[in-house]
Amino acid sequence: MSTSTARLMDGTALARRTVEETAARAAEITRRTGVTPCLATVLVGADPASVTYVKMKQNRCAKAGIRSKHVELPAETTTEELVAAITALSADPDVHGILLQHPVGPHIDERAAFEAIAPEKDVDGVTMASFAAMGFGLPGFVSCTPGGIMRLLDAYDVELSGKRAVVVGRSAILGKPAGLLLLGRDATVTYCHSRTVDLSAAVREADILVAAVGKPQFIKGEDIKPGAVVIDAGYNPGNVGDVDFDSAAERASLITPVPGGVGPMTIAVLLAQTVDAAERQLAAR
Ligand SMILES: Nc1nc2c(c(=O)[nH]1)N[C@@H](CN(C=O)c1ccc(C(=O)N[C@@H](CCC(=O)O)C(=O)O)cc1)CN2
């Protein structure tokens, strides 16, 4: 029997509210300008998880009154072909946001492909321009999962200033930007990764723990500081997070479940930023 004391951070409910607000904003743009906000999704190959995520994004767009334009490319697409496809979307005035589903095949230079996204259409927050804006605390588009994490922390009134935040993982679209956003809110941030010596000791220091390592149930409850806020950003096969939920929930004060935590917020932020992008582009015309 679980002796859970943690309160759940309900990402499904917060995402629903966020998408409802986004849908109202999208409808208002369409009413006022006759233009419907549009997200282009780019999928290379047919990795089953990526196919599912892109379908989820398209379905959510449809529910929010956002048009989606889907570009599907074969697995053997070259970097040059992918860059050309994304460059065409960047120049297309009917497209307001562009999402390249990660990961692409190992033969593709993913960074070059991300950089082909026009900064004003980078609603997934993956370009160097967006990363720099996150680092300097300037307005811009944030990486969607880190942005969703920040919205969850705010919705549950988690104090960040002066708190020790430990981010386990340093990927370009998740761990690194998550740390930058926490730093921007005056948390004291430690990044941990595969070369970290005594990871358990670092995790035990965390008032706020972000698990973004991509290893199922890697973080165990015994390493959670009592009262910590635990954000599980893992999306491993079978909908398993990076945190061993039952043991972590015995010590945490707040915890995100998988599924139903960070995942739904990732897509909610993507939609919200697509409408932001449409608003800005239409105002500039
Ligand atoms: N270009 C990007 N690629 C990837 C991103 C990203 O933000 N941008 N993130 C991940 C995967 N991802 C979106 O792409 C994603 C993962 C999980 C979920 C989600 O809502 N999961 C649900 C459960 C899923 C289900 O019901 O089948 C949950 O956690 O409740 C959304 C998006 C990698 N690539």
Query: Exposed, middle or buried: residue 224 (CB in 10 Å: 0-12, 13-18, 19+)?
Result: buried
Q: What is the pLDDT of residue 18?
A: 98
Q: Do domains 34-118 and 144-262 have the same CATH topology?
A: yes
Question: What is Dmax (Cα atoms) for the chain?
Answer: 60
Is the CB of 97 inside a 6 Å radius of any atom of ligand 1? no
Instruction: Give the separation between CA 107 and CA 73, rounded to whole angstroms.
Output: 14
Top-tier CATH class for 144-262: alpha beta
Is the CB of 78 inside a 6 Å radius of any atom of ligand 1? no
Out of 122, 124, 223, 244, the active site residue is 124
* Domains of the chain by residue range: 34-118, 144-262
Q: What is the pLDDT of residue 147?
A: 98
Q: What is the third-level CATH fold of 34-118?
A: Rossmann fold (3.40.50)
- Is 58 considered catalytic here? no
pLDDT tens-digit readout, 231-274: 999 999 999 999 999 999 999 999 999 999 999 999 999 999 99
Q: Which atom of ligand 1 is nearest to 145's Cα?
A: 7
Is the CB of 267 inside a 6 Å radius of any atom of ligand 1? yes
Two structure tokens written together for 248? 């972590």
Please indicate, yes or no, whether the overall pTM of this predicted structure exceeds 0.90: yes
Q: Is the pLDDT assigned to residue 4 strictly greater than 90?
A: no
pLDDT tens-digit readout, 31-88: 999 999 999 999 999 999 999 999 999 999 999 999 999 999 999 999 999 999 999 9
| Residue with CA closest to ligand 1 atom 34 | 102
Q: Is the pLDDT assigned to residue 3 strictly greater than 90?
A: no
Q: What is the pLDDT of residue 239?
A: 94
Work out the pLDDT band at 2, boundaries 50, 70, 90: low
Out of 57, 121, 176, 225, the active site residue is 57
pLDDT tens-digit readout, 160-215: 999 999 999 999 999 999 999 999 999 999 999 999 999 999 999 999 999 999 99
Backbone angles phi, psi at 219, to 5 degrees: -95, 125
Backbone angles phi, psi at 270, to 5 degrees: -60, -45
Distance 57 CA to ligand 1 centre (A): 9
Is the CB of 103 inside a 6 Å radius of any atom of ligand 1? no
4 is in an annotated binding site: no
170 is in an annotated binding site: yes
Closest by CA to 213, choosing from 198, 199, 225, is: 199
121: DSSP letter: G
User: Measuring CA to CA, how many Å separate 187 from each of 131, 161, 182?
Assistant: 18, 5, 6
- Is 124 considered catalytic here? yes
Instruction: Give the separation between CA 20 and CA 178, rounded to whole angstroms.
Output: 25
Q: Pick from 19, 82, 102 the residue to mutate for probing ligand 1's pocket: most ligand atoms within 8 Å of its CB.
A: 102
Is the CB of 239 inside a 6 Å radius of any atom of ligand 1? yes
Instruction: Give the separation between CA 214 and CA 167, rounded to whole angstroms.
Output: 12
